[in-house]
Amino acid sequence: MRSVLIAAGIGLIMSILLTPVAIRAFRRQGLGQEIRDDGPESHLSKKGTPTMGGTVIVGATLVGYLVAHLAFVGDDGWGFSATGLLLLFLMVGMGTVGFLDDYLKIRHRRSLGLNKTAKLVGQLIVGVTFAVLAINFPSNGLTPASTVVSYVRDIEPLALGSIGFVILAYLFIAGFSNAVNLTDGLDGLAAGSSAMVLASYIVISFWQFTHDCASELIDGCYQVRDPLDITLVAASAMGACLGFLWWNTSPARIFMGDTGSLALGGLIAGLAIVTRTELLLVVLGGLFVAVTLSVVIQVAFFRATRRRVFRMAPLHHHFELAGWTENTVIVRFWLVTGMAVAFGLGLFYADWLSFAGL
């Protein structure tokens, strides 16, 4: 437990301290955000706000994870794991795709960076590499990921095989990285919501660690590889998000950009894959799902009827144009995320109670 607190604390401290340094550096380099021409008029004042703050989130996560290991590896007798390193690879890889996207936006002074094809290719390379590696590196008969579709644990009748798993994992990673990216439209909305989802994975993975089949064969134990290392990654990332949120909350002094949103979305999807809770993430990340669906519905309905369902998509802009202030939208969406996380954790615990016979 001490290592988890160290990981979260270091991630938080590094993010709080490094973000103002990044703000000054990005301002000197002229790395300011470009704003959509068709967005809410209230957002035009945000033009020029430093972006690519996701570099701080990724960096603080890496440092938090590393320090937690260096501080306790001698006492606890465990070192870096394949699962933890794969999660960090996924975060850094998706963050790199986002960084290129942000850089091109700034260089060309427009709100669009990488074209859709280039962005999807980048996500494809990172996602498929993660998926292929995740079904290797066995330890005690377990690999970091399973080729079986999971809810709270593997659903054995839904075995996909290696190729099927790689395809599903890519779609899952690309889907949630883009979902967090779409949600990152208001000050602090994506950072706060991501922190709550990451907190739920701290609870889930640490519970799996204390009820791991490798150490304790009991009814309902979890077949998960390296659950404590998963907890450290989630804790480091949560701390990094909270530290960044200190400077990103309205009025934001820096934006995470695609660098942060793609990195966080990819990491969250990776956490679901390695904890065998893929379908549960649809509940835990309910806000991200709703925001994405609002865009899909808007585009599909407009193409079919030339009319719009929402005043504007993604969903948070619809409520802004309906008269809600930005802060009202942010806080209420945070509340929605909190309720989704609470409900998801309730489902996770209910599964455990069914095995315990309570």
Cα separation of 283 and 118, whole Å? 30
Q: What is the dihedral of CA 240, 267, 35, 334, to 10 degrees?
A: -70
Q: Is 317 left (phi over 0), alpha (psi -120 to 50) or beta?
A: alpha
- Residue 216 phi/psi, 5-degree rounding, is -150, 105
**Which residues, other chains included, contact 287 with Cβ-Cβ below 8 Å and sequence gap of 6+?**
183, 193, 333, 336, 337, 340
Cα separation of 217 and 209, whole Å? 12
**Which amino acid does the sequence have at 125?**
I
Q: Binding site: residue ranges?
A: 181, 258
**CB 203 within 8 Å of CB 320:** no
- C-alpha torsion sign, points 344, 341, 238, 129: positive
Nearest CA to 179 out of 93, 285, 74, 108 is that of 285
Other C-beta atoms closer than 10 Å to the C-beta of 305 total: 9
173-200: b or e for each residue (b if 16 or more CB lie within 10 Å)? bbbbbbbbbbbbbbbbbbbbbbbbbbbb
CA atoms within 13 A on the CB side of 273: 34
Give the residues across from 50 on adjacent strands. 32
Residue 18 sits at the vertex; the CA angle it makes with 15 and 19, to the nearest 5 degrees, is 75
Q: Binding site for Mg(2+): residue ranges?
A: 181, 258
